[in-house]
């Protein structure tokens, strides 16, 4: 097995670059959304986990793409049970389309066969 390249913690600069916003915006969002509480290093620097980044992505989407205000985005996050995964949209696949349905059923069948093979091992 290969070792995963995923880091456990990211600096504010890395997250800032990832989201395309300035660090002061991240600090402001932290003050406005109680759910955002990045850990601090011994030197006092913010260290963001994947969960923190998911919250930030959700907040960014609500504010910049969906046009929510800060208070509206805060309420939307609260209504989702503070679960950023619920705010990440799933793929919009029109299941009623016969071609898509046929393809999905084919993939489902192949996955079932793979699962059966794995279980036999």
Q: Where are the domains of the chain?
A: 1-89, 91-121
Note the CATH architecture for domain 1-89: Orthogonal Bundle (1.10)
pTM score above 0.85: no
Q: What is the dihedral of CA 38, 12, 90, 72, to 10 degrees?
A: 70
CB-CB contact of 27 with 35 (8 Å): no
| 44, burial (CB in 10 Å: exposed 0-12, middle 13-18, buried 19+) | exposed
Identify which of 61, 63, 64 has the alpha carbon closest to the alpha carbon of residue 85.
61
Interval 114-120 mean pLDDT = 88
3 state DSSP class of 11: strand
Q: Convert the pLDDT of each residue in 60-100 to its tens digit.
A: 988 998 899 999 988 888 887 777 766 665 444 555 667 77
The CB density around residue 62, as the number of other CB atoms within 10 Å, is 20
Of the chain, the percentage scoring pLDDT greater than 90 comes to 36
pLDDT of residue 93: 52
**H-helix or E-strand containing 16?**
helix 12-19
**H-helix or E-strand containing 31?**
helix 23-32
């Amino acid at each position: 097995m290969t070792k995963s390249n995923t880091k456990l913690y990211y600096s504010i600069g890395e997250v800032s670059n990832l989201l395309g916003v300035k660090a002061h915006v991240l600090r402001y969002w932290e003050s406005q959304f109680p759910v955002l509480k990045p850990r601090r290093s011994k030197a006092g620097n913010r260290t963001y986990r994947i969960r923190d980044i998911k919250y930030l992505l959700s907040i960014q989407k609500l504010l910049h793409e969906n046009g929510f205000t800060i208070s509206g985005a805060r309420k939307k996050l609260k209504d989702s049970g503070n679960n950023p995964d619920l705010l990440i949209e799933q793929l919009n696949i029109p299941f009623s389309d016969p071609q898509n349905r046929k393809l999905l059923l084919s993939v489902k069948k192949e996955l079932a066969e793979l699962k059966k093979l794995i279980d036999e091992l």
